[in-house]
Every structure is written in structure tokens, then in C-alpha cells.
């Protein structure tokens, strides 16, 4: 592999093979290397995702350069994805910088405005060989600076989903079936029947957001029912931070990032391995 690929290439294969590809939210060089190197060891395709806050923090051009270097070094498919972007002009900017996949989240808008906004992004992206994911329905919880109150969370309507895909021309659809961003107050109750109906009506790959903290068996059930992309964010951050904190407790005078970042990377790697196995993407590269 010598260049980044699109999520369309990765997810179509997953759809045909009845497995899913994990999309890991990263924040810096350390987290990128953990995810990519672990995926390469396991021969898994991988999607590297960044929220608006992450891209602003790390720099879009830096991230593109790092991931392009990674794609030359490792012989696995790697896609670089904009996650939960609401600003159309920001998406266009990062597409021009080299991101291969974009999620436009206009789910807060009316159904008609959601379609109009998504279509604008699709037209721009497709002209440049970039693919688009959109969301129909709303997930509760918090993703970066995007907050949706639980009472405002709405499930995806299967009939509406079919029309939404046809009118927008999106390449993948994020569905709301009972997951939420962040950690759960109790075990989430996923609407598998709704997912079955959406899968019947929609041909494009389906995406599960808010998969951190969801029991493994529940996620596997959604994959069996047609989910092809599983987003992982919170489950990565917590063990990384915990391991670094523990290091500083034991080494209060530490000041070398190469040393205190290492336990965090090792803790994160365990999660990446588990999520790749959960998705069934090992040896699918």
C-alpha cells in the first residue's frame, strides 16, 4: 500500500464478508502508532478517525502526512476519516488537505435540511474521490464538543433511511438504534429489530456510533445484522490516561514523554487488539 484508501473500499469488503472494520478515534502520534501498528500486526484494515476538536488540536495536514507515511510503511488498507463534523466548509477544507472519508452530521437539523446539507458535502466529496457518511436519527451523549441530550436522541426510521440514502447519495449510513456517545449509566438496550429493518431497506454499509462501553456480544449481534463499521473512542482514552497516571504515581519526578507515554500506549494496544477481534477484521487486510 502506498496511499490512503477510502472507507468505501474497506466497508464494501466488510459488508460482503459479514464482518466490521473498527474506526478508532486518535489524538496524536502516539495513539496513531498504537492503532496502525497493532492493525498491521493483526492484518486488519483500519479507519483512523478524528473529531473536529482532534483535528484542530493535532492539525489536519500533520495527520494526513503521518497517515500517508503509515500507509507506505504498513501493507494494510488505512482510511483517514473526519468524524462528526457539522461545518460543511471545514469538511471541504480537510478533504482538500487529503482526508479520504468524511462524516457530515446534520442530524440536529430537520429531515429536509439534513438531506440538503449532506447532499452538498456528497457533491463536493465525490468530485474529489472522497466518500461520505451521514447520520439519520440522533445519538445521545457527548462526542467531543457535540452534545445531544438523551431526551432529544431519536432512533432511525427504516423507511426514511431508504429515502435519505437515495436523495443524498451517501456511501455509508450511521444509524441510531440505542447506542450513545461516552460511557453508559446502565447496559444499553439496542433495537435489533429496527436494525434488521434498516438493513432490508438500505444497501450502503451501516455504521454503529457510540460502541465504546457496549458489551462485546451486543456489538457482535449488530455486526451479524449488517453493521460494517464500529466507532471506538472512549474505550481507548480511559486506559491510556489511567496507565499514564499510574506511571506518574510511581515516578513523580518523571519528565520524559518517551517513558511516561509508553505505559499508555501499551494499555491502549490491549483495547485495540480486543476491538479488532470483536469486529472480526483480523486477517482481512
pTM of the predicted model, to two decimals? 0.91
Question: Residues 40-91: pLDDT tens digits?
Answer: 999 999 999 999 999 999 999 999 999 999 999 999 999 999 999 999 999 9
Helix boundaries (H) for 128-184 = 158-168
- Compute the chain's Rg from CA coordinates: 18
- Whether the pLDDT of residue 142 is over 80: the answer is no
The per-residue pLDDT of the chain, averaged, comes to 91
Question: Are 7 and 174 within 8 A, CB to CB?
Answer: no
At 93 the pLDDT is 98
Q: How far apart are CA 208 and CA 229, in angstroms?
A: 6
CA–CA distance from 173 to each of 48, 76, 134, 153, 222 (Å)? 17, 24, 5, 17, 14
CA–CA distance from 29 to each of 5, 11, 43 (Å)? 20, 25, 20
Between 78 and 144, name the one with better pLDDT.
Answer: 78
Spell 73-112 as b/e; 16+ CB within 10 A means b.
ebebbbbbbbbbbbebebbbebbebbbbbbbbbbbeeeee
Q: Cell 440522533 belongs to which residue? A: 138
**Looking at the domain 7-279, which fold is it?**
TIM Barrel (3.20.20)
- Tell me which residues are annotated as active site: 83
Question: Residues 234-265: pLDDT tens digits?
Answer: 899 999 999 999 999 999 999 999 999 999 99
Q: How far apart are CA 212 and CA 196, in angstroms?
A: 21
At 213 the pLDDT is 72
- Whether the pLDDT of residue 183 is over 60: the answer is no
Amino acid at each position: 500500500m502506498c496511499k490512503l484508501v477510502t472507507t468505501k473500499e474497506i466497508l464494501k469488503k466488510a459488508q460482503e464478508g459479514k464482518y466490521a472494520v473498527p474506526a478508532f478515534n486518535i489524538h496524536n502520534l502516539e495513539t496513531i502508532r498504537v492503532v496502525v501498528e497493532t492493525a498491521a500486526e493483526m492484518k486488519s484494515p483500519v479507519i483512523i478517525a478524528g473529531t473536529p476538536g482532534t483535528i484542530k488540536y493535532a492539525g489536519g495536514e500533520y495527520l494526513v502526512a503521518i497517515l500517508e507515511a503509515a500507509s507506505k510503511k504498513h501493507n494494510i488498507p488505512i482510511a483517514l476519516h473526519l468524524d462528526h463534523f457539522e461545518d460543511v466548509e471545514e469538511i471541504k477544507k480537510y478533504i482538500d488537505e487529503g482526508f479520504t472519508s468524511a462524516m457530515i452530521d446534520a442530524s440536529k437539523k430537520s429531515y429536509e435540511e439534513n438531506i440538503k446539507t449532506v447532499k452538498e458535502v456528497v457533491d463536493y466529496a465525490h468530485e474529489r474521490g472522497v466518500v461520505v457518511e451521514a447520520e439519520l436519527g440522533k445519538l445521545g451523549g457527548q462526542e467531543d464538543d457535540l452534545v445531544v441530550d438523551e431526551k432529544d436522541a431519536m432512533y432511525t426510521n427504516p423507511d426514511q433511511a431508504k429515502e435519505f440514502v437515495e436523495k443524498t447519495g451517501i456511501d455509508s449510513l450511521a444509524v441510531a438504534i440505542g447506542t450513545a456517545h461516552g460511557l453508559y449509566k446502565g447496559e444499553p438496550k439496542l433495537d435489533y429489530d429496527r436494525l434488521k429493518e434498516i438493513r432490508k431497506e438500505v444497501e450502503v454499509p451501516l455504521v454503529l456510533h457510540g460502541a465504546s462501553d457496549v458489551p462485546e456480544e451486543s456489538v457482535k449481534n449488530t455486526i451479524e445484522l449488517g453493521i460494517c463499521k464500529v466507532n471506538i473512542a472512549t474505550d481507548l482514552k480511559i486506559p491510556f490516561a489511567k496507565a499514564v497516571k499510574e506511571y506518574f504515581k510511581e515516578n513523580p519526578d518523571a519528565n520524559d514523554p518517551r517513558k511516561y507515554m509508553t505505559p499508555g500506549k501499551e494499555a491502549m494496544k490491549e483495547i485495540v487488539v480486543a476491538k479488532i477481534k470483536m469486529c472480526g477484521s483480523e486477517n482481512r487486510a
